[in-house]
Amino acid sequence: MTVTPASPDIRHFRTLFISDVHLGSRAAKAGFLIDFLRHHEAETIVLVGDIVDGWRLKRNWYWPQAFNDVTQKLLRKARKGTRIIYIPGNHDEFLRDFPGMHFGGVEVAERIIHEAADGRRYLVLHGDEFDVVVRHARIVAYLGDWAYDAAIAINVVFAAIRRKLGLPYWSFSSWAKQQVKTAVNFIGEFQKVVAEEARRNGADGVICGHIHHAVITEIDGIRYINSGDWVESCTAIAEHHDGTMELITWQRMASAPVEMLPVSRRELAVDVREPVDAEAA
Ligand SMILES: [Mn+2]
pLDDT digits (tens, 9 = 90+) for 78-120: 999 999 999 998 888 888 888 888 888 899 999 999 999 999 9
Residue 147 Cα to ligand 1 midpoint, Å, equals: 22
The third-level CATH classification (topology) of the domain covering 13-127+206-276 is Purple Acid Phosphatase; chain A, domain 2 (3.60.21)
48 Cα–ligand 1 center, Å: 9
- Cβ atoms within 10 Å of 113's Cβ, excluding its own: 12
- Please determine, for residue 44, whether its predicted confidence score (pLDDT) is greater than 90: yes
Compute, in angstroms, the gap from residue 169 CA to the centroid of ligand 1: 41
Which of the four pLDDT bands, split at 50, 70 and 90, describes residue 267? very low
Q: How confident is the model at residue 57 (pLDDT cuts 50, 70, 90)?
A: confident
Closest CA to 212 of 148, 132, 109, 127: 127
DSSP 80-121: TT-EEEE---STTGGGGG-TT-EETTEEE-S-EEEE-TTS-E
Beta bridge partners of 113: 123
Q: How far, in Å, from the CA of 231 to the mean position of ligand 1? A: 12
Give tens-digit pLDDT for 128-139.
877 655 555 455
CA 226 to ligand 1 centroid distance, Å: 12
Q: What percent of the chain has pLDDT over 90?
A: 48
Q: Which residues pair with 107 in a beta bridge?
A: 85, 102
Å from CA of 196 to ligand 1 middle: 19
Q: Quickly count: other Cβ atoms within 10 Å of residue 245's Cβ.
A: 19
Q: Give the global pTM.
A: 0.74
Rounded to the nearest whole angstrom, what is the distance from the C-alpha of residue 75 to the centroid of ligand 1? 22
Distance, CA 229 to ligand 1 centroid (Å)? 10
Q: Which of 126-135, 191-200, 235-244, 260-269 has the lowest mean pLDDT?
A: 260-269
Return the pLDDT at 40.
Answer: 97
* CA-wise closest residue to 37 among 73, 84, 79, 89: 73
> Which amino acid belongs to residue 110?
E
Give me the residue spans of the domains in the chain: 13-127+206-276
How far away, in angstroms, is 235 Cα from ligand 1 center? 15
The closest alpha carbon to 127, from 182, 188, 185, 193, belongs to 193
Tell me, in angstroms, the distance from the centre of ligand 1 to residue 142's CA: 14
